[in-house]
Amino acid sequence: MPGIVIVGAQWGDEGKGKVTDLLAEKADAVVRFQGGNNAGHTIVRDGQTWKLHLIPSGILHRGKLCVIGNGVVIDPKVLTDELEELSRRKVDTTGLRISANAHLIMPYHLLLDHAGEAKLGKLQIGTTRRGIGPCYADKAARLGIRVQDLLDEKILKKKIIAALEPKRLSLRPFAKDPRLDLQTMTEEYLTYGHRLEQYIADTTRLVHDQLDAGRCVVFEGAQGALLDIDHGTYPFVTSSNPVAGAACVGAGVGPKDIDEIWGVTKAYGTRVGAGPFPTELNGTLADQIRERGGEYGTTTGRARRVGWLDLVALRYAARINSLTALAVMKLDVLSGLDELNVCTRYRGAEGAEFEHFPYHQTVLHHATGEYVQLPGWTEDLSDCREESDLPPAAREYLQFMSDFVGVPTAMIGVGPARDAIIWTQASAGMAGAGSRAPASASA
């Protein structure tokens, strides 16, 4: 122990990459447990920019065990490209391990994701079109191809045939697509298998070994609570569970292996893709926040929708994740606004008020935020390194947030630089990896 889970507490893109990168420095292992290359983060360190979609950012710290767990869906082309890029830039990748049980995104998953969205027309979800949904669907239908299948040509071919059979009708428009040729597909995936073989392992056991030896393991979530397929704004969600409980399933550990759960949130709200967003802003203010915050997707480059901080949704996220701490990112982006709205209730179409996140899709789709206004601040925050360096109004904003949600804030992001972070008092008592002067992570 300890096991620390990092999850998104909003709609993804909260800055989990930066938080994980900072905690990974002190940890012994980093494990991804769900999602796929629909996620992506940019890490800036030593003047170099790294864009990673599948490999945990811990790989940039030499000698760290980096696991892609069984709950992740892997596009092997993306993974091999990422490995090549890291090797080209002289990053040691020997610490990477890939679960033999993780499922593979196949060429037909990509085609089906595109076709599914096209068919939905105006009702489309706005997926990343990376084949994530169709791959998880095959997993649940027990038609998935797993990483271990790459190591056996006969089994691979048999499983591809079985997976294609029920899709014949939906794949008919792509009948002539060379990517769907059985032989070509099998050969392509066997090549990936050769390339990845050295990394394939029983990752569950590796993670147990780390925890049993008292080492610090960071479980890195992708997306966010409100994109959770069970607890999010269904059907405008991703096809996995980005909540903390999924770290157990997607890495093969039990709930008692988890000591801390950090929820990453921005100081405001963003969302990409379609679906309800009760605190959404439009117009000049939205554009201003979007530009200042660089709110464009790492994976798809799409402009993100922007909104006020939604504390109804954040409190819900805190509850379904059992958050032990908040990491509040991009506080600096709000500098210069006279007044800041924070949403503490929703108002439904009929005028009813909602203190809790509404379970009903129709209610949520028409809900708008009811706000408390807090004073803004004008100071540039990027040089603040202690809570006491922050202007009083910024401290008040954070306090309001933390009190409302009932979770202490352990970390505050005040700028894009890696060291533009404030570790608060709350992080000091946490089990190891979080604090500025951590109890040795491997103690």
Cβ proximity to ligand IMP: between 19 and 227 the closer is 227
Cβ proximity to ligand IMP: between 137 and 439 the closer is 137
Cβ proximity to ligand IMP: between 130 and 159 the closer is 130
E strands present in 267-367: 269-271, 280-281, 305-307, 309-310, 325-329, 339-347, 353-354
Q: Around Cβ 294, how many Cβ atoms within 10 Å?
A: 12
Residue nearest ligand IMP (C-beta atom): 273
| Catalytic-labelled residue, pool 21, 28, 41, 75 | 41
E strands present in 259-379: 260-266, 269-271, 280-281, 305-307, 309-310, 325-329, 339-347, 353-354, 368-375
Estimate to the nearest angstrom the gap between the alpha carbon of 349 and the chain centroid: 31
Q: Is 41 a catalytic residue?
A: yes
- Asked, as a colleague might, if the bond just before 416 is cis with ω within 30 of 0, I would say no
Q: Around Cβ 132, how many Cβ atoms within 10 Å?
A: 25
* Coil, strand or helix at 201: strand
CB of 8 to ligand IMP, least distance (A): 8
* Coil, strand or helix at 325: strand
CB of 234 to ligand IMP, least distance (A): 11
CB of 117 to ligand IMP, least distance (A): 9
Cβ proximity to ligand IMP: between 11 and 377 the closer is 11
Instruction: Let me know: does 67 contact 211? Beta carbons within 8 Å.
Output: no
Q: Which two tokens stand for residue 174?
A: 């792509």
* Coil, strand or helix at 369: strand
Q: Is 13 a catalytic residue?
A: yes
CB of 270 to ligand IMP, least distance (A): 8
Cβ proximity to ligand IMP: between 9 and 340 the closer is 9
Cα separations (Å) of 348 from 142, 365, 368?
Answer: 40, 9, 7
Which residues make up the interface to ligand IMP (CB under 6 A)?
11-13, 38-39, 125-128, 130, 132-133, 222-223, 227, 236, 238-239, 272-273
CB of 13 to ligand IMP, least distance (A): 5
Cβ proximity to ligand IMP: between 132 and 326 the closer is 132
The amino acid occupying position 111 is: L
CB of 223 to ligand IMP, least distance (A): 5
Residues annotated as catalytic (active site), given as ranges: 13, 41
